[in-house]
Structure 1
Amino acid sequence: MKTIILEQPGRLVLADTPQPSFDPQKEALVRVHRVGVCGTDLHAFHGRQPFFSYPRILGHELGVEIVEVGSNEQGLRPGDRCAVEPYLHCGQCIACRRGAPNCCLNLKVMGVGIDGGMREFIAVPLAKLHRANGLSWEQLALVETLCIGAHAVYRADPKPGELALVIGAGPIGLSVLEFVQLAGCTPIVMDTNPKRLAFCREKLHIAHTIDATQSPLENLLEISKGELATVVFDATGNPSSMMQAFRYVAHSGKLVFVGLFQGDITFNDPDFHRRETTLLATRNARPEEFIRVIRLFEAGKIAIEPWVGERAKFEEVPDRFLLWTAPDRAIIKPMIVFD
């Protein structure tokens, strides 16, 4: 079967690999129709992704079709369209027992800790398939990205009317923005890329955008009438941005780190205490978020058309991938087509 393998940083190769075996009592064999390319894949390509080893088959944002499946309680059948929850948890550790399988002590993420979906077929545990026959392949492939934003906003628990700053207008930042708006907050978007800020203004109709290279604190103070943002999401994974984000939080506000990097974050402790800042991390998403995102898609409350900026066939991916990693790229979400 057609497979894309990241052999080492900077080297993607096309390969022909055997079709995977599967346990029909626990898994389904699925055909991959779409794979969304995300920041995790791009960081892995550059050798900057935590919890990662090579070689690896990337791909955890998947729109799939069930090909073979045994009898199951979920009623899954061949031909069903599904989104994939790519987080394989143990079910026994303290996080799993507390209802947080997204941060399981023994977590394995498809396309990161184990091989993922940049191939024609893959075996997926039955519990990780979320059926949604009314959605397109691309909607299904975007469910996981949107779940990251849904979980981040769930963690912050903002109230309607709050001023919410989203730093980083890449796919994850945009997924956060989606749920910030659904929560009834007033959004502000900050980024260093003028093309992405223009995208937010023109395509998503965001009234307030801030160029992070042009006096960002002063601009935020002006927009907020001197009070800053009561909830701040940093989706950059950039240490400088993450440390600067403490300055943007209003007194009694919350800072949520959505992105991550391999290193330490420092902040001024007296200022942190003076503001009584709540600092939160967010990792992956829970099954509840997958169900919620699918229901929102089905209800027509999420539009993803502006997100998908480019589609590439299997054989085009190695050449296109390097272009997708360019820091000033305007493309928000590349999509790999396996049809």
Structure 2
Amino acid sequence: MRALICNEPGSLAVIDRPEPVPAPGEVLVRIRHVGICGTDFHIFGGKHPFLEYPRVMGHELSGTVESAPQGSALRKGDPVYIVPYLSCGQCQACRIGLTNACCNIKVLGVHADGGMAELLAVPEQNVIPTGDIPLRDAAMIEFLAIGAHGVKRGAITARDRVLVTGSGPIGMSAIIFAKARGAHVTVMDNRADRLQFARDRLGADAVLVADDSAEAEAARLTGGEFFDVVIDATGAAAPIERGFGFLAHGARYVLLSVVRQDIRFSDPEFHKREATLIASRNAQPDDFAEVVAQMRAGKVPTQALNTHRGALADGVHLFQDWSRPEAGVIKAILDL
């Protein structure tokens, strides 16, 4: 079968490799669509903190069942999406229901080879029927679930003024699900095109340019009180540290981003606000279900989000093209 492999940072190749043989309890899925996300670009650029090369990337996956274990409710040809977090089910985190933060987690496309390949064998519990969701849209469920999980972690309600910093795909997913809860959402970024998209297509209530005037403008927008919830989706240490300055008293700060560097902040200012710092990692089954429900309700503009498409066979040069900011990629999808 064909697969797109990242041999080392900056080096991609389409290769032939043996078809996977499903282990007991695994479903063999014929991959149809693979969403490309910031994690994949970080792997390609050598910036991911949890990765060893070579690696077949791809964790935003949809496809059709090729074969299923005896007794499974899944049948050959069933349309499915894949939950890419392989948890052990036995560690302390799994025992308390935090399978998304399993101590021994393997994420497809990061810790184990992923779905930029024609076939993939996956544990049955990680294979979910799409129902009436189109397969191409289903390849976007995972990245949207990241935002849904962060919004849940922030306990966002309609009473909250929310600031989302960083309006890439993960930030956009946070905007979508914060708005679905009725929150007033402001978005901050240094890209005018992303801010316009957030306002025009995602329903953001206000936008902030991430320049030297942002704090003063945020104070003006909130009557000097700042934000009840700040969600960082920038993927960079400096804006994460800056985000502490936008917290209202009693605020929650949700970090969707993960970075290699240590994060520093003013302890007196943090304590003065009695603020809460919250990590948000991956997503849980109810977050995936929330995405599907909001898709069915028409609250997720899937066609607008999916800005670029191409074939797996062209992935080597497409990755080069799509990684450039001027390409204007929001969500790119490889088709098989």
Q: Which band: TM-score by shorter chain?
A: over 0.9
Question: What amino acid is the match of 2:16?
Answer: D
Question: What amino acid is the match of 1:19?
Answer: E
Kept after mapping to 2: 8 A contact 1:130/1:291: no
Q: CA separation in 1, counterparts of 2:217 and 2:326?
A: 22
2:299 maps to which of 279, 298, 301: 301
> In the alignment, what sits opposite 2:14?
14
> In the alignment, what sits opposite 1:172?
170
1:13 shift after superposition: 0.5
Matched residue SS, 2:140: helix
Q: Is residue 116 from structure 1 mapped to residue 105 from structure 2 by the alignment? A: no
Q: CA separation in 1, counterparts of 2:127 and 2:154?
A: 27
Q: CA separation in 2, counterparts of 1:315 and 1:77?
A: 28
1:199 shift after superposition: 1.4
1:223 shift after superposition: 1.2
Matched residue SS, 2:131: coil
Q: Which residues of 2 match residues 1-339 of structure 1 at below 5 A?
A: 1-23=1-23, 25-73=24-72, 75-338=73-336
Question: What amino acid is the match of 2:61?
Answer: L
Q: CA separation in 2, counterparts of 1:206 and 1:151?
A: 19
Question: What amino acid is the match of 2:259?
Answer: F
Kept after mapping to 2: 8 A contact 1:61/1:144: yes
Q: How many residues align?
A: 336
1:161 shift after superposition: 2.5
Q: CA separation in 1, counterparts of 2:129 and 2:198?
A: 31
1:70 shift after superposition: 2.2
Matched residue SS, 1:261: coil
**1:171-218 CA distances to partner (integer Å, 9 max, x unpaired)?**
100111111001110000111111111211232232311110241111
**1:218-272 CA distances to partner (integer Å, 9 max, x unpaired)?**
1111111211010000011110000000000101101010011111000011001
Kept after mapping to 2: 8 A contact 1:130/1:290: no
- TM-score w.r.t. the length of structure 2 is 0.97
Kept after mapping to 1: 8 A contact 2:184/2:205: no
Q: CA separation in 2, counterparts of 1:289 and 1:300?
A: 17
Q: CA separation in 2, counterparts of 1:205 and 1:182?
A: 10
Question: What amino acid is the match of 2:81?
Answer: A
Q: CA separation in 2, counterparts of 1:168 and 1:301?
A: 21
Q: CA separation in 1, counterparts of 2:205 and 2:89?
A: 43
Matched residue SS, 2:334: strand
Gaps of 5+ in 2: none
**1:44-72 CA distances to partner (integer Å, 9 max, x unpaired)?**
11100011010000000001110111223
**1:91-113 CA distances to partner (integer Å, 9 max, x unpaired)?**
11110000100000000000000
| Farther off after superposition, 64-73 or 50-59 | 64-73
Q: CA separation in 2, counterparts of 1:194 and 1:331?
A: 14
Question: What amino acid is the match of 2:63?
Answer: V
Q: CA separation in 2, counterparts of 1:246 and 1:190?
A: 14
1:130 shift after superposition: 1.0
1:123 shift after superposition: 0.4
Q: CA separation in 2, counterparts of 1:119 and 1:297?
A: 26
Matched residue SS, 1:5: strand
Question: Percent identical across equivalent pairs?
Answer: 38
Q: CA separation in 2, counterparts of 1:281 and 1:180?
A: 17
1:131 shift after superposition: 0.6
Question: What amino acid is the match of 1:41?
Answer: D
Kept after mapping to 1: 8 A contact 2:179/2:203: no
Q: CA separation in 2, counterparts of 1:322 and 1:198?
A: 25
Q: CA separation in 1, counterparts of 2:300 and 2:70?
A: 33
Question: What amino acid is the match of 1:39?
Answer: G
1:326 shift after superposition: 2.0
1:303 shift after superposition: 2.5
1:78 shift after superposition: 1.0
Matched residue SS, 2:265: coil
Q: CA separation in 1, counterparts of 2:10 and 2:55?
A: 12
